[in-house]
Every structure is written in structure tokens, then in C-alpha cells.
Amino acid sequence: MRIATWNVNSVNARLETVLAWFEEASPDVACLQEIKCIDEKFPAEAFERLGYNVAVHGQKTYNGVAMLSKTPLEDVRKGLPGDDGDEHARYIEAVVSGPSPVRVCGIYLPNGNPIGTEKFTYKLGWMKRLNTHARGLLALEEPLVICGDYNVIPEPEDADKPEGWLGDALFQPESRGAFRALKNLGLTDAYMQLDGTPGGYTFWDYQAGAWPRNHGIRIDHHLLSPQAADRLRAVDIHRDVRGGEKPSDHVPVVIELAL
């Protein structure tokens, strides 16, 4: 089973680019972030023609997540538990059916900038809620994948120019500590498990020539329960997509689990 995560930075604005990648890469499951549309405006039919079941948790103009699967999605949850007043569409979860079912969570973690504001407080609160929910999911002792745009640079090696991120919410000690706390629940960072080579970037800003200069950061992650980590066979960052036509500033990251 090949499970992808990709912040597409507006699914409708980049639909041709996104569909072209799906036709070529053909992931079994994909979690998309920043779709930037309400549920009714998501181009579900285009993905259904490629053989995907579609679940969407959208929001007008901002945020929005979706999950696509070649097999039916069961037990679908939209929204991260713990705050009934949170109207941001940042979380979707489902059990991907099949001979070896996997629970997949797609997340778009808050950016949190600028630090020292309520946006950073919201980011840390969201991460605390994710930790609590992940703890409950791990207690089920089933294959679990929590993937998406975490908006966290875990270590200095995960940025080409770490000194340039010292004042950014993505690289604050509190953000990185919350990410480590997630892993300390018993979750495995798929990229670090199978590769871990510095330079495995997943995001390059549109500004200041970041892409041609390879000033990237690694902020799109797959965290795996022990039952999923035992089945991990490959991880692949599709970095060439960043140099294509009308790209997102993120690229797809795909893991492969043995069935």
C-alpha cells in the first residue's frame, strides 16, 4: 500500500498538475492539504474517474484537507477532537479498507506565525490536541499513519539554512518539542527510519530563488504506529514535481507499506 501526503496549495488552481501526478504515481491512498475550497467545490469527479473514493473536509479560501483511496474509506472523521469551537478544516481520518486495513490521518497543522501571537498559541494547542488523540489511536494497536504538512522543522539538518528559520514558528523549541512528544508516544518518522539523509526537503518557498538554490525544509511527515512501522518498505520524496508546471511549494511524499 502506497500512502502519499501532499500540500497542493489550492486543488482547483493546480488541478492539471495534481491530476498529472496522480496518473503517473498512482498512490493507493493520498492525503491532500490546503485544498482551499468547500466540500462542494472539490473536484471529486476528476479523482473518481481515476478510481479513487473521496472524502473531503473543506473550508472556503483557506485550509481544507481531503483523503483519496482506491479502496473504500470507513469510519471517516472530520475535524480534530478536543475543541468544538475550532472551525479550521485541518484534520481528516479514515480506515482504508482492504485485506490489511490501515487507519490514516491527514493533517494540516497550523503555521503559527508570527510567534508571540494567538496564532502561535493556537499551533501549540492544536499539537497538544493531536497528541491526545494520537495517544487514543495508538491504544487500538492497529496500523496507523498520521501524515501531512506538520509545519514543523524537526532538526537543524531538516533545513538548508537553519539560521534563517530561528525566528519562525516552524523552528521554535516549543514546536519542535511538541513534535518530539508525538514521536515519543511510540510513533516512527518514516523518512528518518529508512533514509534520514540531510536534504530530504519537501518544501521550497516561492520567494528569493529558494527552489533553484535548494533552500528547502522538511516539514511534510509520515508518523507511523509500531504496527505500521513494521510494514514500512519505502519512502520517496517526489522533489521533481517542484520544478514542474505551476507547482505547489510542497512536493508529494510517498511511503510504501507491505500488505
Segments making up each domain of the chain, as ranges: 2-257
Quickly list DSSP for 106-161: EEE----PSTTSHHHHHHHHHHHHHHHHHHHHHTT-S-EEEEEE-----SGGGBSS
Please give the backbone phi and psi of residue 160, each rounded to the nearest 5 degrees, phi first.
-65, -35
Q: Is it the case that residue 259 has pLDDT exceeding 90?
A: no
Q: What is the mean predicted confidence (pLDDT) over 124-153? A: 98
Given pLDDT bands bounded at 50, 70 and 90, which one contains residue 26?
very high
CA-to-CA distance for 203 and 219, rounded, in angstroms?
7
Share of the chain above pLDDT 70, in %: 100
Radius of gyration of the chain (CA): 17
- Distant-in-sequence contacts of 50-54, Cβ < 8 A, 24+ apart: 50/19, 50/22, 50/23, 52/22
pLDDT digits 0-9 by tens, 83-108? 999 999 999 999 999 999 999 999 99
pLDDT of residue 169 exceeding 90, the answer is yes
CB 33 within 8 A of CB 149: yes
- Residue 199 confidence class, pLDDT cut points 50, 70, 90: very high
Q: Report the pLDDT averaged over residues 220-231.
A: 98
CB 171 within 8 A of CB 150: no
User: Looking at residues 36-64, what average pLDDT do you find?
Assistant: 98
Q: CA 150, 152, 154 angle in degrees (round to 5)?
A: 120
Task: For the chain, give the percent of residues with pLDDT over 90.
Answer: 98
pLDDT of residue 147 exceeding 90: yes
Q: Which of 1, 153, 158, 141 is nearest to 70 (CA)?
A: 1
Q: Which CATH number fits domain 2-257: 1.10.645.10, 3.60.10.10, 3.40.50.300, 3.40.190.10?
A: 3.60.10.10
Q: Are the beta carbons of 120 and 113 closer than 8 angstroms?
A: yes
At 208, the pLDDT band (50, 70, 90 cuts) reads: confident
Question: pTM value?
Answer: 0.98
- Number of H helices and number of E strands within the chain? 6, 14
Q: What is the mean pLDDT of residues 168-175?
A: 98
Would the pLDDT of 67 be above 90?
A: yes
Distance CA 127, CA 133 (A): 10
Average predicted confidence (pLDDT) for the chain: 97
Q: Is 163 helix (H, G, I), strand (E, B) or coil?
A: helix
Q: What is the average per-residue pLDDT within 169-176?
A: 98
